[in-house]
Copies of this chain bind each other. A is one copy, B any other.
Amino acid sequence: MAGSIFGTIFRVSTWGESHGAGLGAVIDGCPAGLPLSQEDIQSWLDRRKPGQSKFTTSRQEGDEVEILSGVFEGKTTGTPIALEVRNKDQRSKDYSAIMNLYRPGHADYTFDQKYGFRDYRGGGRSSGRETVGRVAAGAVAAKILKELGVEVRAFTRSIGPVEISPENFDWDERGNNKLYMPDAQAAKAAQAYLEKLMGECDSAGGVIECRIEGLPAGVGEPVFDKLDANLAKAVLSIGAVKGFEIGEGFKAPLLTGSTDNDEFASETDESGARKIYKKTNHAGGVLGGISDGSPVVFRAAFKPTASIAREQHTVTREGEETPIVIKGRHDPVIVPRAVVVVEAMAALTVCDLLLGSMTSRMDRIREFFRR
């Protein structure tokens, strides 16, 4: 059963392993006529690159993307866009220490159970490197969205117990610190927390928040393909994510109908038209699974990095109990590098549903074909 294809109209198929020849994505269903350059995608990949600070692994990934098809004279042609990143750092390493062991918190055991064997080099397909394909494709989706006035932006909301404070919130600060936190003070506290954990050979998790602005009302399908349902799937499909919430999320059960409902109001815009809006946004931008014109706001909970330098206990493939020590340098927290991955998955989801929303009304379809 195929698990590496995402979307219905704007469809992405990703491939590649941590230590194989490379990774990539094929986008099928991208509209023709979108200006697209290597740089549009590279800038997204650069944001997920490791080696940018002491809190990310020092592996040099390079990660130069090549556009192999679907773009002609600087514009998409409507046919599949193949994106590829060759793995550079593939020297043959010695995996004998772990190839026969199941690392706690990793997918080694489940891959073996599912497939009968596994690519033990750096996690193979279950490695975080798998997200290269997502990010490359997400960059294209985001570019379409931008042309239609929709912006997708995420940030690190918390690392371990250190959370940003709403009053300090500053989008511009996000790029100033390596943790992608829009709050300089919280970023500083989080760095101290991480340094302490590193000293203890331990690792941290965190929460990423994503905000989608400019999305018109009416996007998302009732029942199974709700906007929030598809976002939840997109986000939970990222390795290490253990939770998703939209709007008030897990705080909603602590509210009551009267404090959680968003009342409607209206105002007259410049053109004299009556514009309806919600006075609050507890809902996080969706009602009944359909965008309501407010910003879509959701959060993803990431577990701590599974690879820690500390000795742990596990078993061999044969079931023999044994200690395990995971060598090499690993990110003490993956959250900052995952911010762009969350944006990519959100962009893919919204782009697909936005295109899908074009066929929801006969009046607009009639008008479309009358051209």
> Given that A113-B293, A318-B274 are contacting pairs, would A3 and B252 also be in contact in the complex, using a CB cutoff of 8 Å?
no
A258-B22 in contact (CB<8A): no
By a CB distance below 8 angstroms, the chain B residues around A218 are 110, 113-114
CB distance from A305 to the nearest CB of B (A): 6
> Given that A79-B124, A202-B256, A253-B207 are contacting pairs, would A1 and B5 also be in contact in the complex, using a CB cutoff of 8 Å?
no
Q: Is A360 part of the contact surface with B, judged by Cβ < 8 Å?
A: yes
Q: Is A233 part of the contact surface with B, judged by Cβ < 8 Å?
A: yes
B304-A256 in contact (CB<8A): yes
B287-A110 in contact (CB<8A): yes
A319-B358 in contact (CB<8A): no
Give the A interface residue count (CB, 8 A): 175
Contact with B along A116-140 (1 / 0, CB 8 A): 1111010011100010000000000
Contact with B along A198-228 (1 / 0, CB 8 A): 0011111111000000001111111111101
Measured CA separation A369–B147 after assembly (Å)? 10
Give the segment of A12-20, A168-176, A177-185 that binds chain B: A12-20
A291-B258 in contact (CB<8A): no
B69-A22 in contact (CB<8A): yes
> Given that A68-B21, A109-B287, A290-B107 are contacting pairs, would A361 and B115 also be in contact in the complex, using a CB cutoff of 8 Å?
yes
Give the segment of A43-51, A57-65, A261-269 that binds chain B: A261-269
Beyond A107-B222, A114-B290, 11 additional pairs, beta carbon < 8 A: A8-B8, A16-B69, A20-B69, A107-B290, A109-B264, A202-B256, A202-B257, A223-B237, A226-B237, A228-B236, A236-B246
Q: Is A312 part of the contact surface with B, judged by Cβ < 8 Å?
A: yes
Q: Which 8 A-B pairs have the closest CB atoms?
A: A107-B288, A3-B221, A274-B319, A1-B356, A243-B245, A233-B233, A2-B29, A203-B257
A253-B303 in contact (CB<8A): yes
By a CB distance below 8 angstroms, the chain B residues around A147 are 362, 366
CB distance from A55 to the nearest CB of B (A): 14
By a CB distance below 8 angstroms, the chain B residues around A39 are none
CB distance from A57 to the nearest CB of B (A): 14
Which of B3, B130, B261 has a CB less than 8 Å from the CB of A306?
A: B261
A360-B255 in contact (CB<8A): no
Closest Cβ neighbor of A310 among chain B residues = B258
By a CB distance below 8 angstroms, the chain B residues around A219 are 114
Q: Is A153 part of the contact surface with B, judged by Cβ < 8 Å?
A: no
